[in-house]
Amino acid sequence: MLDEKKIYVLDGATGTAIQSYNLEEKDYSFEGKGYKGCHDILNITRKDIVLDVHRRYIEAGADIIETNTFNSNGVSLKDYGIE
């Protein structure tokens, strides 16, 4: 149950945090195709990175982890042909 008097801290800019890992094309490869820049595919190809980003926000004091789907919608994913 949420405490109505507490100020809750959300996680931060996940995409920016992912950039700090200096990922390569192979990190975004799925079923023989490359999706570099599509952070949503990392939920499948590099779960360890997504979990580490969330862990780092929790360690920094975040009370709420908001998302691990970055642009998971048809319009954004169309750029990669996976809408």
pLDDT averaged over 10-residue windows placed end to end, the chain, 83 residues: 83 88 95 91 94 94 83 86 87
Kindly give, in sequence order, each residue whose CB lies less than 8 Å from that of residue 21, ignoring residues fewer than 6 positions away: 27, 49
Of 82, 68, 61, residue with least CA distance to 39: 68
| pLDDT reported for residue 82 | 87
pTM over 0.85: no
* Single-letter amino acid code for the residue at 24: E
